[in-house]
């Protein structure tokens, strides 16, 4: 899994989404992604049923710098397993689940507010 380090606040913002990927700063990335306070990772998830605790491990490894996880479920909504919710709650991280478009916008607003936010986004 390749990690892309965030070097400036402009690189942390989601500048666009759709067509199977995301634009972070001036760069375009194909596929789903995990965004941490220090950088972002490709995320091997194409539908909500692919989401596992193991797949979210990079976010838990940065849990000291996170208060909220925003999960973008693609084009619709779904529930997150109790196992995942418990693991994040045990690390004092709240989870908000929504479609990917809303999640990308919410992530950007919370980041601008200075919140300690991370995101797991399924590409649409």
Residue 3 pLDDT more than 60? no
- For 51-110, write each residue's pLDDT tens digit: 999 999 989 987 888 999 999 999 988 899 999 999 999 999 999 999 999 999 999 999
Structural domains in the chain, CATH included, are 4-121 (3.40.1230.10)
- CA dist 49 and 121 (Å) reads 13
> What is the full DSSP assignment across 10-59?
HHHSEEEEETTEEEETTEEEES-EEE-SSEEEE---SSGGG--TGGGHHH
The pLDDT value given to residue 5: 52
27-37 pLDDT, tens digit per residue, is 899 999 999 87
For residue 5, what are its two tokens? 């380090």
Distance (Å, whole) CA 19 – CA 29: 10
């Amino acid at each position: 899994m390749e990690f892309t380090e965030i070097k400036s606040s402009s690189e942390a913002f989601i500048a666009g989404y759709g067509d199977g990927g995301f634009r972070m700063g001036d760069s375009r990335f194909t596929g789903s992604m995990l965004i941490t306070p220090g950088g972002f990772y490709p995320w091997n998830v194409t539908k909500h049923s692919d989401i596992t605790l193991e797949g979210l491990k990079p976010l838990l490894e940065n849990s000291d710098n996170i208060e909220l996880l925003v999960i973008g479920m693609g084009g619709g909504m779904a529930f997150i397993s109790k196992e995942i919710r418990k693991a994040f709650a045990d690390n004092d991280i709240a989870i908000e689940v929504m479609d990917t478009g809303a999640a990308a916008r919410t992530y950007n607003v919370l980041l601008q507010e200075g919140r300690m936010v991370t995101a797991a986004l399924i590409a649409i």
